[in-house]
Amino acid sequence: MLLFVHFPPVTGPKQETEALRREIARHDRLYYGLGAPEISDLEYDRLYRRLQALEAEYPDLITPDSPTQRLGDTLSAGFAAVQHPFPMLSLQNSYNEEDLREFHRRVVTGLDGEAPEYSCELKFDGVSLLLTYENGVLTRAATRGDGQQGDDITANIRTIRGLPLRLEGPKIPGTVYVRGEVYMRTGDFLAFNEEQVAEGRKPLANPRNTVAGSLKLLDPSLVARRPLRVVCYAYDADDKSVQTHSYGLIRLSEFGLPISDQSRVVSTVDDVIAYWKEWEGKRDTLPFEIDGAVVKVNALSHQRLLGLTARAPRWALACKFSARQAQARLLDVSFQVGRTGVLTPVAELEPVPLGGVTVKRATLHNFDEIRRLDLREGDTVVLERGGDVIPKITGVVAEHRRRGAKPIVEPATCPVCGSPLERATGEVALRCTNPRDPEVIKRQIEHFVSRGALDIGGFGSETINALVDQQLITDAGDLYSLKLAQLLALPGFAQKSAENLLDALNVSKSAALDRLIFALGVRFVGESTARTLATHYGDLDLLAKAKPDELASLPDVGPRVAQAIHEYFASDVWRSLHNKLLRAGVKLHDDTPVERGDKLQGLSIVVTGTLERYSREEIERVILLQGGKSVGSVSRKTSFVVAGEKAGSKLEKALSLGVPVLSELEFDQLLAGKRKL
- The secondary structure of residue 128, as a DSSP letter, is E
Query: Which range binds ligand IVH by CB under 6 A, 58-66, 121-129, 634-642, 661-669?
Result: 121-129
Is there binding between residue 264 and ligand IVH (CB under 6 A)? no
Residue 235 binding ligand IVH, by CB under 6 A: no
Counting contacts by CB under 6 A, is residue 128 touching ligand IVH? Answer: yes
DSSP state of 626: T
Options 124, 276, 480, 518; binder of ligand IVH; rule CB under 6 A: 124
> For the chain, what is the total number of helices (H) and then of strands (E)?
24, 22
What is the smallest separation between the CB atom of 96 and ligand IVH, expressed in angstroms? 17
Identified binder of ligand IVH from the candidate list 107, 228, 249, 294, rule CB under 6 A:
294
- Which one of 87-95, 364-372, 397-405, 612-620 is the stretch in contact with ligand IVH (CB under 6 A)? 87-95
Identify the sign of the CA torsion 510, 514, 517, 519.
negative
**Does residue 431 belong to the site contacting ligand IVH (CB under 6 A)?**
no
Give residues 88-107 in contact with ligand IVH (rule: CB under 6 A).
89-91
Q: Residue from 21, 84, 104, 123 that binds ligand IVH (CB under 6 A)?
A: 123
**Dist CA 561 CA 524 (whole Å):** 6
Q: Nearer Cβ to ligand IVH, position 260 or 626?
A: 260
Which of 14, 123, 674, 676 is the catalytic position? 123
Window contacting ligand IVH (CB under 6 A); options: 42-50, 120-128, 412-420, 430-438:
120-128
Closest CB to ligand IVH: residue number: 128
Cα–Cα separations (whole angstroms), residue 385 to 24, 286, 305, 362, 538: 40, 16, 39, 10, 46
CA gap 405, 74 in Å, rounded: 63
- Binding window for ligand IVH (CB under 6 A); candidates: 97-105, 279-287, 311-319, 658-666: 311-319
* CA of residue 599 relative to chain centroid, distance: 38
* DSSP string of 285-327, one letter each residue: GSSS-EEEEEEEE-BHHHHHHH-B-SSSBTTEEEEEPPPEEEE
Q: Is 234 in the site for ligand IVH (CB under 6 A)?
A: yes
Within 10 angstroms of residue 504's Cβ, the number of other Cβ atoms is 16
320 in catalytic set: no
Among 318, 357, 382, 594, binds ligand IVH (CB under 6 A): 318
- Of 136-195, binders to ligand IVH (CB under 6 A) are 144, 179, 181
- Beta partners for 183? 229
Identify which of 430, 448, 432 has the alpha carbon closest to the alpha carbon of residue 440.
Answer: 432
Sheet holding 629-630, edge to edge: 629-630, 604-608, 640-643, 661-662
Smallest gap from residue 234 Cβ to ligand IVH (A): 5
- Residue 130 binding ligand IVH, by CB under 6 A: no
* CB-CB contact of 344 with 295 (8 Å): no
Query: CB-wise, 129 or 464, nearer to ligand IVH?
Result: 129
**E strands in 551-628:** 604-608
Give 245 or 515: the residue with its C-beta nearer to ligand IVH: 245
**How far is Cα 534 from Cα 526, in angstroms, rounded to an integer?**
12
* Count of positions on this chain that bind ligand IVH (CB under 6 A): 16
Question: How many whole angstroms from its chain centre is CA 400?
Answer: 40
Q: How far is the CB of 219 from ligand IVH (least distance, A)?
A: 25
Of the pair 128, 340, the CB lying nearest ligand IVH is at 128
Q: Which residues are catalytic?
A: 123
Name the residues that contact ligand IVH, by CB under 6 A: 89-91, 121, 123-124, 128, 144, 179, 181, 233-234, 294, 313, 316, 318
